[in-house]
C-alpha cells in the first residue's frame, strides 16, 4: 500500500514539474517572440530612417550639382581658360558616370530560353557574373564610352559579383539572371556591333542558354550612377 502511495505521489510530483517546465518554456517562447518583434520593429525603423537620409542627401547633392554647374557656366563665359577647365570637368564627370549621357551605340537584349529552368534540363544553368563581365569587357575593349546593365551605370568603382540568387552591379544594382537583361553601350555603333557579334562573345558559357539580340541605335540614353564614388587612398603624385 505504501509502495502504491509513493508511486502516486511521485507521479503527481512529476506531472507538476512537467507542467511547470511546459509553462516556463511557453513564457520563454513568448519572450523570444516579443524580443524578435521588437528587434524587427527597430530594424525597420532604422531602415526607414536611412532611406529618408539617403533621399535628403540625394536632393542636397542634386541641388549642389546644379549650383556648381551654374557657377562653372558663369566662369566659362569669362575666358578661354575657364571654358577649357569646364570642358575637362564635364569630360571627367561623363567618364566617372556622374552625369546622364547620350550618344550612338548598341543595345544587347539577353532573354532566357523558355526551357532553361525546367526540371528536364539538369545540365543548363543561368548566367552569372562571369558571362556579364565577359560581355562588358568585350565592349570596353572596343572603347565603349559608357555602359549600363539593366540601367545600372558602370563606373570605375562598379564591381560585378554573384551573391545568392542575384548578380550585383556595384552595391545597388540587383540583377535577376532568370529575367531579361539589357546591356547598353555608347560608342562607335558599328564597331560595338561587330564586337558583340564576334564569335565567343554572346555564346560564351551559359549565354548559350539565352536568346541574345543586338540592335544598333543612333541615340542611346544612359543615366548617371546612383553609387557614391569615394577616393580614400589614392593621391596624385607630385
- Assess whether pLDDT exceeds 80 at residue 102: yes
3-state secondary structure of 202: coil
Closest CA to 184 of 126, 112, 102: 102
pLDDT band at 1 (very low <50, low <70, confident <90, very high): low
- Assess whether pLDDT exceeds 50 at residue 197: yes
Other CB atoms closer than 10 Å to residue 89's CB: what's the count? 14
Chain centre distance of CA 47: 17
Quote the CA–CA distance of 200 and 28 in Å, as a whole number: 60
Cβ–Cβ < 8 Å for 175, 136: no
Query: What is the model's pLDDT at position 86?
Result: 74
Could you read off the pLDDT of 127-165 as tens digits, one per residue? 999 999 999 999 999 999 999 999 999 998 889 999 888
Query: What is the model's pLDDT at position 14?
Result: 63
For the whole model, what pTM was predicted?
Answer: 0.67
Give the DSSP per-residue string, 80-98: HHHHHHHHHHHHHHHHHT-
pLDDT band at 122 (very low <50, low <70, confident <90, very high): very low
β pairing state of 152-153 and 160-163: unpaired
Query: What is the model's pLDDT at position 129?
Result: 94
Query: What is the model's pLDDT at position 71?
Result: 65
Instruction: Give the chain's length.
Output: 238
Query: What is the model's pLDDT at position 219?
Result: 96
Closest CA to 177 of 117, 115, 94, 105: 117
Q: Report the sign of the C-alpha dihedral through residues 147, 150, 155, 156, in that order.
A: negative
3-state secondary structure of 73: helix
Residues with Cβ < 8 Å from 154, sequence gap 6 or more?
97, 136, 146, 147, 148, 169, 170
CA dihedral 70, 75, 79, 85 (to 10 degrees): -90
What CATH number is given for 101-222 in this structure?
Answer: 3.30.70.1880
Amino acid at each position: 500500500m505504501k509502495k502504491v502511495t509513493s508511486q502516486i505521489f511521485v507521479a503527481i510530483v512529476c506531472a507538476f514539474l512537467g507542467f511547470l517546465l511546459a509553462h516556463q518554456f511557453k513564457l520563454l517562447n513568448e519572450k523570444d517572440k516579443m524580443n524578435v518583434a521588437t528587434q524587427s520593429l527597430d530594424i525597420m525603423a532604422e531602415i526607414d530612417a536611412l532611406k529618408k537620409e539617403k533621399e535628403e542627401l540625394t536632393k542636397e547633392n542634386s541641388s549642389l550639382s546644379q549650383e556648381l554647374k551654374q557657377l562653372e557656366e558663369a566662369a566659362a563665359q569669362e575666358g578661354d581658360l575657364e571654358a577649357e577647365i569646364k570642358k575637362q570637368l564635364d569630360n571627367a564627370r561623363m567618364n566617372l558616370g556622374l552625369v546622364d549621357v547620350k550618344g550612338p551605340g548598341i543595345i544587347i537584349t539577353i532573354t532566357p530560353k523558355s526551357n532553361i529552368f525546367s526540371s528536364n534540363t539538369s545540365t543548363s544553368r543561368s548566367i552569372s557574373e562571369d558571362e556579364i563581365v565577359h560581355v562588358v569587357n568585350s565592349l570596353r575593349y572596343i572603347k565603349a564610352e559608357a555602359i549600363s546593365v539593366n540601367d545600372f551605370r558602370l563606373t570605375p568603382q562598379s564591381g560585378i559579383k554573384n551573391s545568392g540568387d542575384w548578380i550585383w552591379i556595384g552595391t545597388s544594382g540587383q540583377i535577376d539572371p532568370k529575367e531579361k537583361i539589357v546591356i547598353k553601350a555608347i560608342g562607335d555603333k558599328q564597331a560595338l556591333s561587330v564586337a558583340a557579334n564576334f564569335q565567343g562573345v554572346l555564346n560564351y558559357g551559359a549565354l548559350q542558354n539565352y536568346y541574345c539580340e543586338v540592335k544598333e541605335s543612333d541615340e542611346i540614353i544612359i543615366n548617371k550612377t546612383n553609387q557614391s564614388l569615394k577616393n580614400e587612398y589614392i593621391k596624385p603624385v607630385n
